[in-house]
């Protein structure tokens, strides 16, 4: 007998995908099932991504006779296929995942020192993709003045900010409360430079969060080289993404939007956009620019505008080069 169910793609490697099915009336409803993707995806130039909402078609051979721990297992995805991908909210290139709602940007107040331009670049990418950025400042006890200034900078820019102390765990409870309030029905990921303590933070927030440490399913491991990919874990009524290697440096390639899009990714610019003297104002040097006036008046932080100028130059140069 054939069945069709929708669900969330939570893991994939080597062409085999694991889908957490929605609650329904089919034999595998509410459980996990392994499936292959239909061949037409390749011809269409697309592929399923972790985080996708998908349609799965399967038959009785895809469901084992003994279903344990809410898992419907099959034989190497046989008897089950991902037949369709539902419309995406967003899709990231690196890490490869879709439908991300919240991005917790973890930076350290010290060791390593924070790089605000890199943070701002990642914030702009998140904003462009309709992902809500949340700043998490770790090791605040090692450099309290730096942590305070960072918190003030991004709070004034309109973002939620949390300061955490490594020694006594101050701030963890407030962050956990925020996540439990915001996460239901959403997917969240943590990003940060190496050494800022993402893994330690995740375990402090969710002791039950136990991502794999490199083991790959025998059915999925093909050949000598296997690379860990993104995986979603149910938590707090939503999903947490385990994103190996998801560092801020992975986002140096941000040229998938244009210089024209850039002002819309700086949320504190919003009250001033459209108020400039010139309709095609770039907010970089023009007279009568409302954004530049706000910077001079201290309503927009100079460091944030400096990051905007750096990103604008990179995007403008690429755009000009492409027109030649």
Using the predicted structure, report yes or no on whether residue 68 has a pLDDT greater than 90. no
The secondary structure of residue 225, as a DSSP letter, is -
| pLDDT for residue 72 is more than 60 | no
| CATH no. for 2-87 | 2.40.50.140
Q: What is the pLDDT of residues 207-227, one digit of tens each?
A: 776 655 443 344 433 333 333
- pLDDT confidence of residue 286: 97
Percent of the chain with pLDDT over 90: 56
More confidently predicted of 223 and 257: 257
Let me know if 94 is exposed, middle or buried by CB neighbors in 10 A (0-12, 13-18, 19+): middle
The whole-number pLDDT of residue 224 equals: 35
Q: Are strands 91-92 and 132-138 parallel, antiparallel or unpaired?
A: unpaired
Higher pLDDT, 140 or 92: 140
More confident residue, 73 or 260: 260
Average pLDDT over residues 52-65: 83
pLDDT at residue 121 is higher than 70? yes
* Class in CATH terms, 255-323: mainly alpha
Domain boundary assignment for the chain? 2-87, 97-250, 255-323
What is the per-residue pLDDT for 78? 63
Average pLDDT over residues 286-297: 98
Residues paired with 11 in a beta bridge: 18, 231
Q: Is the pLDDT of residue 249 over 50?
A: no
Tokens of 54: 């998908």
Residue with more model confidence, 250 or 114: 114
pTM of structure: 0.84
pLDDT for residue 228:
55
Averaged pLDDT score across all residues of the chain? 83
Instruction: Give me the CATH code for the 97-250 domain, please.
Output: 3.40.50.300
pLDDT the model gives residue 251: 46
- Check whether 143 has a pLDDT greater than 90: yes
Q: Answer whether 147's CB lies under 8 Å from 258's CB.
A: no
85 Cβ contact list (under 8 Å, min separation 6): 41, 46, 48, 52, 53, 54, 55
Burial class (CB in 10 A: 0-12, 13-18, 19+), 24: middle
């Amino acid at each position: 007998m054939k069945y069709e169910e929708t669900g969330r793609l939570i893991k994939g490697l080597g062409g085999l995908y694991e889908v957490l099915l929605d609650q329904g009336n089919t034999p595998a409803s509410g459980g996990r099932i392994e499936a292959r993707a239909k061949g037409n995806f390749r011809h269409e130039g697309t592929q399923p991504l972790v985080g996708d909402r998908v349609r799965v078609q399967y038959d009785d051979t895809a469901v084992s006779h003994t279903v344990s721990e809410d898992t419907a297992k099959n034989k190497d995805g046989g008897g089950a296929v991902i037949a369709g991908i539902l419309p995406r909210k967003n899709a990231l290139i690196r890490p490869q995942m879709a439908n991300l709602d919240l991005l917790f940007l973890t930076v350290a107040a010290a060791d390593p020192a924070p790089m605000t331009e890199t943070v701002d670049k990642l914030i702009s990418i998140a904003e462009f993709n309709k992902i809500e950025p949340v700043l998490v400042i770790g090791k605040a006890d090692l450099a309290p003045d730096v942590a305070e200034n960072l918190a003030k900078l991004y709070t004034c820019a309109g973002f939620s900010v949390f300061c955490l102390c490594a020694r006594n765990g101050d701030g963890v409870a407030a962050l956990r409360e925020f996540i439990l309030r915001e996460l239901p029905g959403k997917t969240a990921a943590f990003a940060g430079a190496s050494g800022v303590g993402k893994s330690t933070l995740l375990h402090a927030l969710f002791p039950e969060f136990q991502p794999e440490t490199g083991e790959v399913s025998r059915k999925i491991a093909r050949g000598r080289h296997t690379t860990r990919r993104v995986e979603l874990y149910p938590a707090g009524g939503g999903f947490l993404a385990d994103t190996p290697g998801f560092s801020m440096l992975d986002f140096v390639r941000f040229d998938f939007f244009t210089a024209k899009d850039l002002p819309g990714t700086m949320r504190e610019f919003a009250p001033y956009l459209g108020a400039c003297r010139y309709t095609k104002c770039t907010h970089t040097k023009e007279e009568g620019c409302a954004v530049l006036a706000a910077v001079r008046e201290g309503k927009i932080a100079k460091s944030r505008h400096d990051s905007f100028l750096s990103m604008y130059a990179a995007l403008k140069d690429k755009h000009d080069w492409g027109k030649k």
